[in-house]
Amino acid sequence: MSIVTSQLTKTYHAGSEFPVHAVQHVDLEVRSGEFVAVMGPSGSGKTTLLNLIGGLDHPTSGKVLIDGKDIAELNEQQLIGFRRDHVGFIFQDYSLLPVLTALENVEFVMQLQGVNGQQSRDRAVELLQKVGLGEQLHKVPAKLSGGQQQRVAVARALAPRPRFVMADEPTANLDAKSTAELLDIMQHLNETEGTTFIFSTHDQRVIKRAKRVIVFEDGQLTQDKCQ
């Protein structure tokens, strides 16, 4: 599976006298199984890029092609299906549902896909064990540490077996130990399940672990290197 952006551009007009060119004319290709960091200062367009690629936001101009197909040609229902079945999102603030337990948070997304009860339970337990939370299945997010909540979010993102995972500054609120653990988990899943990871960060410790680093400045892709 490949993700290609072609002259991808997003311009915001809201709330400012001048238009904001959040993402400008970006040409990028990410192949199946890559582990890519998008790096850049705050306001450089990282979140906008991930949201555009993941179909959470629509470009002003340019295209996002998944396996050669322009996602702008999907209708709203197809786009929802595309996101649900193929894209996993991990957010900086974890975005777990507070009234659900760790297990229920992970099961929930599979139920949306129509996976039956026992199957979704088994997969959720397996994933939570994989991220080291086998003993915390029945705790609500408020009873977990930040690092543990982010690991629930990783399990949730992986549950529907997405083809790629977008992680927007996933370690921004984590200490050094939790950051290292989270990266180990992501890297392991990348290597064993072949899941493509695209994550934004400005944390040097995270950048060091990426196989490819893309640099953003003022909405433009200024560097793209493998390491």
Residues that bind ligand ADP (CB under 6 A): 12, 14-15, 20, 22, 40, 42-48
Q: How far is CA 98 from the centre of its chain?
A: 20
Q: How far is CA 71 from the centre of its chain?
A: 17
Minimum CB–partner distance for residue 70 and ligand ADP (Å):
22
Kindly give, in sequence order, each residue whose CB lies less than 8 Å from that of residue 79, ignoring residues fewer than 6 positions away: 55, 71
Q: In 3D, which of 31, 215, 216, 17 has the Cα closest to residue 225?
A: 215
Q: Which helix (DSSP H) or strand (DSSP E) does residue 63 occupy? A: strand 61-66
Contact partner, 19, from ligand ADP, Mg ion, none, Cβ < 5-8 Å per class: none
Virtual CA dihedral for 32, 110, 52, 216, nearest 10 degrees?
-60
Give 46 or 83: the residue with its C-beta nearer to Mg ion. 46
For Mg ion, which residue has the nearest CB? 47
Cα separation, 105 vs 155, whole angstroms? 9
**Planar angle of CA 164, 167, 169, nearest 5 degrees:** 160
Minimum CB–partner distance for residue 137 and Mg ion (Å):
31
Contact partner, 152, from Mg ion, ligand ADP, none, Cβ < 5-8 Å per class: none
Task: Give the burial string for 173-188 (b: 16+ CB within 10 Å, else e).
Answer: ebeeebbbbbbebbee
Give 43 or 117: the residue with its C-beta nearer to ligand ADP. 43
Minimum CB–partner distance for residue 78 and ligand ADP (Å):
24
Give 15 or 68: the residue with its C-beta nearer to Mg ion. 15
CA 88, 171, 32, 190 dihedral sign is: negative
Minimum CB–partner distance for residue 62 and ligand ADP (Å):
15
Minimum CB–partner distance for residue 219 and ligand ADP (Å):
7
The reply on whether position 51 binds Mg ion by CB under 5 A is: no
Tell which positions 31-50 bind Mg ion, by CB under 5 A. Answer: 46-47
Give 51 or 148: the residue with its C-beta nearer to ligand ADP. 51
Contact partner, 201, from Mg ion, ligand ADP, none, Cβ < 5-8 Å per class: none
Minimum CB–partner distance for residue 177 and ligand ADP (Å):
25
Give 15 or 98: the residue with its C-beta nearer to ligand ADP. 15
The reply on whether position 149 binds Mg ion by CB under 5 A is: no
Virtual CA dihedral for 141, 126, 156, 117, nearest 10 degrees?
-100
What residues make contact with Mg ion under the rule CB under 5 A?
46-47
